[in-house]
A and B are shown apart, each in its own frame.
Chain A
Amino acid sequence: MLADWLQGFLNLLGYQELLFLATGIAIGLFVGILPGIGGTTALILLTPLTFALDPVQALALAGGIMGAVPMGGAVTAILLNTPGQTANAVTCLDGYPLAQQGKAGLAIGAAASSNALGGLVGAVSILAVIPLANELVMLFGPPELFLLAMIGLVLVATSSRGGRMFRAILSALVGLGLATVGYSDLAGSERYTFGSEYLWDGVHLGAALIGLFAVAEMVHLTVKGGSVAKADAPVAITGMMDGLLASFRHWRTLLRGSIIGTFAGVVPGVGGTVASFLSYSLTVQASKEPETFGKGNVQGIIATEAAINAKDGSMLVPTLAFGIPGTPEMAVFMSILVLHGMQPGPLMLLKNREEIYSLVWALTAACLIASLIGLLLARPLAGLTRVDVHILAPLIIALSFAGSFAIDLELGNLIVTAAFGVLGYLMIVLNYPRLPLVIGIVLGGVAERTFLQSMMISDGDISIFVNRTTCQILLAGMAAAFLWPRLMKRLGGRRQDVGLTPSKTLGDRR
């Protein structure tokens, strides 16, 4: 096995292979920064190109893209409060407040290092997880996936800081409601489409995300004036190094995030989304100063980015081992594999071991190089937070709408982005958290589908959710996730009485 591992690495060292890897990294970084266009779109656009390449070259290109996108996504999350992928939405929670305090360098540095380290851990852990792949996929059927989605929703409600938990629940409910728009194959009918062909597929998540975060934020800034970083915030010159070292200083957070990401990523679909929240929530709960999260606690970034990069690696496992792609990106990636004669399935891990290792190396290299580039560009990127918003905002808004259209060339996306732009702005101004809305949309479909499937499996018997072992474990976890913050608050309240913790919370919003 070690021989295959080394051979996989050596296979990448050809001149052409490295060229494709570099190209993939460049494209991935670039695409990760653009709001809306993500790794999926990049892979789709480049699929025809891979026709002419041999397997290792194609994997180098794909791996380069997939490994680099998260760093780009983290950068926009920090600088513009706009997540690059859904999982990055959690990076915004602490990344953006740091940028507002003039500490964008610190935030980007921390994101870069936790990206790199999380990716490394992820690469190693794929190898550990692969033998367990069979068992893990077997554990998660529709009832388990439903409970996992529920856990995600509970987490998102409880991780809202600043007394916004009630409004987070409202926001999540709205998201769940939006998820029902469109044709549901299980429910067997169109809902809330009002005859529109465009809405048949439901609310377009990418377009909504762009509107809700990028556009809304820019409108808000336009009204406020000034720049992203508040005028009186000092620019941290050594921020980058501090950020870099922060990941080492908070190694427990990093490790926790990486491990959570690795295991959560193996669950097709739901796992990836929930991974970053799970990591963030657990970090908050384990912290002695939970109230500092959401206001610029660098650990929030570390926890999230480590989980994201680890999960990107382990998401490959169900794709490779069973041909079950958890996300659209994995689906496109799978087609590239098939095109080159590599059939995902139980045999792939035996027949194509070298290629898989080449892929893992490519991903790791991409992750490291992208993080390095992110670090090098941290200072000039941080400078964006100083640009006059009257220049920055129209550019970002224009780019956002262009990107929204570009995702799949639908004019309808423009309307969705505009509508969510207005909604997002209202939510900022009126202090309703936006993140739960996004998660509601993302998890709503999964939750409904897996619930109906579970009912079909059990022929209507609802006890299916408590009878299966994995379900019982998940239920226990859900209870813990919900009760823990209450318990901590109770204890924190007592500390407050004795004057140990500040009670006033500044208006944090996201």
Chain B
Amino acid sequence: MQANRRQFLGALGTAALAGCGGARSDGPYPSRDITFVIPVGAGGGADIYARLVGAAIERHTPTSVNVVPTNVPSGGGGKGVVELFRAKADGYTIGILNIPGIFVLERLRKVPYDFRRFTWLGSLTSGEHYGLAVGANSPIKSVADLQRLSQRREVTFATTGPEGMGYTATQISSRILGLRSRRVAGYRGSSDYVMAAVRGDTDAVVAAITTLQRLSEGNTVRILAAFDTETRGGGIQNALQLGHPELALLKGERVIAGPPGLPPEIVGKLAALLRQSWDYPQLRKWSESIGETFAPTTPEETARMVRGRIDFLNQWLTDS
């Protein structure tokens, strides 16, 4: 709120002095508020994460510099991504991007950005793995059962609309597992579509492992597989046991990025700020509560990781 008042008065003052031609000198970076673009509506997982990261960064900037989280959910997040892409590359606008989200967005519609050109700054957490589950009352007891079923007829999956991560995860994993499948799309969020499978609307679902675990505590879902490399009991196979280690590459990740062409000194400073922000207790607490681990990456590592993901997605998403 203080920031907005200052901005308004600043704008008024500037407008008033418009004729006087005084140049404003910027001090060392950062010397004014940083806008943090969040291309989802308030309340989503990415939103909380971004706000926490923003608050954490703020603790290491000079007191006059705030990090201002700005939700831009329009256009399924597209508008926010475009805003970040077109922002001035001076370090005062950063944003949080979702992989595979922006990749999928680009494939679904014509977007005025090339996401490969973003300046990747870093990511703090390891990302979400996915898993496969059925309703607790389902006759299907294993992935092999599902594969057998798919030889007789299409296996139905409940999932989000095509812009959601769940949809992409379902598409890719059913291809990797060799399942003939049909998607019932359009559910609003992972809890909604997992409950759809429990209700019997569809045979199975693919969702974030933490969501599945949470819902399985109520004995409503049976998890058949987790697409990672952890060993679990209870008949839950992991990617290695399924014979498809590439399933572990199917992850939803949140990456902090800046507009294309950000100068290297600024990239360095922002990367350092990100690294320092992990000591913010709220951020740690929240990450642990959603089952993610601390895995900070440098800008170079982040860029490499993004490229790797894109290759993986390109390979498996041959058609929508």
**Per-residue contact bits, chain B 75-118, to A (CB 8 Å; 1 contact, 0 not):** 11011000000000000000000000000000001000000000
Residues A457 and B282 in contact in the complex (CB < 8 Å), given A186-B161, A188-B162: no
Query: Does A170 sit at the interface, judged by CB under 8 A?
Result: no
Question: Which B residues are CB-close (under 8 A) to A43?
Answer: 42
Query: Does A478 sit at the interface, judged by CB under 8 A?
Result: no
Chain B contributes a number of interface residues (CB within 8 A of A) equal to: 50
Contact with B191, one of A44, A323, A410, A449 (Cβ below 8 angstroms): A323
**Per-residue contact bits, chain A 48-73, to B (CB 8 Å; 1 contact, 0 not):** 10010000000000000000000000
Question: Which B residues are CB-close (under 8 A) to A141?
Answer: 196, 199, 201
Residues A332 and B191 in contact in the complex (CB < 8 Å), given A410-B74, A449-B186, A456-B184: no
Contact with A185, one of B163, B192, B201 (Cβ below 8 angstroms): B163
Question: Which B residues are CB-close (under 8 A) to A51?
Answer: 51-52, 55, 282
Stretch in B22-30, B139-147, B214-222, B264-272 touching the partner: B214-222
Residues A457 and B51 in contact in the complex (CB < 8 Å), given A200-B76, A324-B195, A332-B43: no
User: For the complex, what is the distance from the CA of A343 to the CA of B190, rounded to whole Å?
Assistant: 14
Is B43 a contact of A331 with CB atoms below 8 Å? yes
Is B186 a contact of A324 with CB atoms below 8 Å? no
**Per-residue contact bits, chain B 122-135, to A (CB 8 Å; 1 contact, 0 not):** 00000000000000
Is B218 a contact of A346 with CB atoms below 8 Å? yes
Whole-angstrom distance between the Cβ of A415 and the nearest chain B Cβ: 15
Is A138 a contact of B199 with CB atoms below 8 Å? yes
The number of A-B residue pairs with CB atoms under 8 Å apart is 128
Question: Which B residues are CB-close (under 8 A) to A331?
Answer: 41, 43-44
Query: Does A198 sit at the interface, judged by CB under 8 A?
Result: yes
Please name the 4 residue pairs, one residue from A and one from B, whose CB atoms are nearest each other, closest first: A346-B218, A185-B161, A335-B43, A323-B191
Question: Which B residues are CB-close (under 8 A) to A200?
Answer: 74-76, 78-79
Is B186 a contact of A453 with CB atoms below 8 Å? yes
User: For the complex, what is the distance from the CA of A345 to the CA of B289, rounded to whole Å?
Assistant: 14
**Per-residue contact bits, chain B 192-208, to A (CB 8 Å; 1 contact, 0 not):** 10011011011000000
User: For the complex, what is the distance from the CA of A456 to the CA of B167, rounded to whole Å?
Assistant: 15
Is B289 a contact of A343 with CB atoms below 8 Å? yes
Is B215 a contact of A345 with CB atoms below 8 Å? yes
Query: Does B8 sit at the interface, judged by CB under 8 A?
Result: no
Is B191 a contact of A322 with CB atoms below 8 Å? yes
**Per-residue contact bits, chain A 456-467, to B (CB 8 Å; 1 contact, 0 not):** 110100000000
Residues A345 and B217 in contact in the complex (CB < 8 Å), given A138-B198, A141-B199: yes
Q: Classify the interface of chain B: helix, strand, loop or mixed.
A: mixed
Is A197 a contact of B185 with CB atoms below 8 Å? no
Query: Does B286 sit at the interface, judged by CB under 8 A?
Result: yes
Is A198 a contact of B161 with CB atoms below 8 Å? no
Is B51 a contact of A185 with CB atoms below 8 Å? no
Whole-angstrom distance between the Cβ of A221 and the nearest chain B Cβ: 33
Is B195 a contact of A322 with CB atoms below 8 Å? yes
Question: Which A residues are CB-close (under 8 A) to B55?
Answer: 48, 51
User: For the complex, what is the distance from the CA of A134 to the CA of B160, rounded to whole Å?
Assistant: 21
Residues of chain B whose beta carbon lies under 8 Å from any beta carbon of chain A: 41-45, 47-48, 51-52, 55, 69, 71, 74-76, 78-79, 109, 156, 160-163, 182-189, 191-192, 195-196, 198-199, 201-202, 214-215, 217-220, 282, 285-286, 289-290
Contact with A335, one of B44, B156, B161, B195 (Cβ below 8 angstroms): B44
- Return the chain A residue nearest B219 by Cβ: A346
Whole-angstrom distance between the Cβ of B167 and the nearest chain A Cβ: 9
Question: Which A residues are CB-close (under 8 A) to B183?
Answer: 456
Question: Can you give 12 contacting A-B residue pairs, CB < 8 Å?
Answer: A48-B69, A197-B79, A335-B48, A341-B289, A343-B289, A347-B214, A410-B74, A449-B186, A452-B186, A456-B184, A456-B185, A457-B201
Residues A457 and B74 in contact in the complex (CB < 8 Å), given A325-B189, A346-B217, A346-B220: no
> A44-B43, A138-B199 known; 4 other A-B pairs, CB under 8 Å?
A200-B79, A332-B42, A338-B289, A408-B74
Question: Which A residues are CB-close (under 8 A) to B162?
Answer: 185, 188
Is A459 a contact of B182 with CB atoms below 8 Å? yes
User: For the complex, what is the distance from the CA of A203 to the CA of B111, rounded to whole Å?
Assistant: 21
Is A453 a contact of B214 with CB atoms below 8 Å? no
Question: Which A residues are CB-close (under 8 A) to B74?
Answer: 197-198, 200-201, 408, 410
User: For the complex, what is the distance from the CA of A197 to the CA of B72, rounded to whole Å?
Assistant: 13
Counting contact residues on chain A (CB < 8 A from B), the size range is 35 or more
Is A334 a contact of B76 with CB atoms below 8 Å? no
Whole-angstrom distance between the Cβ of B44 and the nearest chain A Cβ: 7
Residues A457 and B41 in contact in the complex (CB < 8 Å), given A200-B74, A339-B48: no
Question: Which A residues are CB-close (under 8 A) to B45?
Answer: 338
- Return the chain B residue nearest A48 by Cβ: B51
User: For the complex, what is the distance from the CA of A338 to the CA of B43, rounded to whole Å?
Assistant: 9
Query: Does A242 sit at the interface, judged by CB under 8 A?
Result: no
Query: Does A388 sit at the interface, judged by CB under 8 A?
Result: no
Question: Which A residues are CB-close (under 8 A) to B160?
Answer: 185
**Per-residue contact bits, chain A 171-197, to B (CB 8 Å; 1 contact, 0 not):** 000000000000101101010000001
- Return the chain B residue nearest A43 by Cβ: B42
Question: Which A residues are CB-close (under 8 A) to B51?
Answer: 47-48, 51
User: For the complex, what is the distance from the CA of A449 to the CA of B290, rounded to whole Å?
Assistant: 30
- Return the chain B residue nearest A336 by Cβ: B43
User: For the complex, what is the distance from the CA of A344 to the CA of B41, rounded to whole Å?
Assistant: 19
Question: Which A residues are CB-close (under 8 A) to B182?
Answer: 456, 459
Residues A324 and B41 in contact in the complex (CB < 8 Å), given A341-B289, A347-B217: no
User: For the complex, what is the distance from the CA of A325 to the CA of B201, rounded to whole Å?
Assistant: 19
- Which residues of chain A from 123 to 149 have any CB-CB distance to chain B below 8 Å in the complex? 134, 137-138, 141-142
User: For the complex, what is the distance from the CA of A142 to the CA of B182, rounded to whole Å?
Assistant: 16
Whole-angstrom distance between the Cβ of A32 and the nearest chain B Cβ: 19
User: For the complex, what is the distance from the CA of A453 to the CA of B185, rounded to whole Å?
Assistant: 7
Residues A339 and B163 in contact in the complex (CB < 8 Å), given A48-B51, A201-B74: no
Query: Does A493 sit at the interface, judged by CB under 8 A?
Result: no
User: For the complex, what is the distance from the CA of A323 to the CA of B207, rounded to whole Å?
Assistant: 14
User: For the complex, what is the distance from the CA of A346 to the CA of B45, rounded to whole Å?
Assistant: 19
